[in-house]
């Protein structure tokens, strides 16, 4: 049994080293990645909203803030974290 364990340990060590070296050789001889071909850029027209109105002051897409009420601070203290 002692001889079997010793032979098994050597067998595992030898096969793992040979597998590592074989994988290294296969990886070294693998084809290199293809370099991207430069393509001329295509300019797309700007996206317009569905109704045709362009509001440059709006924070989001297709929103109309022309009648929005400004939010007032209600005197609450600002949030402070006492962390570093």
**pLDDT value at position 11?**
97
Which backbone phi and psi does 46 adopt, to 5 degrees? -65, 150
Q: Which domain holds residue 14?
A: 1-28
Q: Domain for residue 64, yes or no?
A: no
pLDDT digits (tens, 9 = 90+) for 17-73: 999 999 999 999 988 887 777 767 777 777 776 765 555 555 555 554 444 444 555
What is the C-alpha to C-alpha distance for residues 14 and 10, in angstroms, rounded to an integer? 6
Tell whether 46 is covered by a domain: no
State the total domains in the chain.
Answer: 1
What is the per-residue pLDDT across 54-63, written as a single tens digit (0 to 9) for each?
555 555 555 5
Q: What's the pLDDT at 60?
A: 54
Residue 16 located in a structural domain: yes
Q: What is the pTM of this model?
A: 0.37
Q: Say what the pLDDT of residue 47 is.
A: 79
């Amino acid at each position: 049994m002692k001889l079997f364990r010793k032979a098994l340990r050597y067998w595992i060590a030898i096969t793992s080293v040979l597998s590592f070296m074989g994988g290294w050789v296969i990886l070294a001889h693998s084809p290199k990645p293809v370099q991207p071909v430069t393509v001329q850029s295509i300019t797309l027209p700007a996206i317009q909203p569905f109704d045709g109105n362009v509001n440059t002051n709006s924070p989001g897409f297709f929103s109309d803030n022309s009648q929005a009420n400004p939010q007032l601070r209600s005197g609450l203290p600002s949030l402070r974290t006492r962390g570093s």
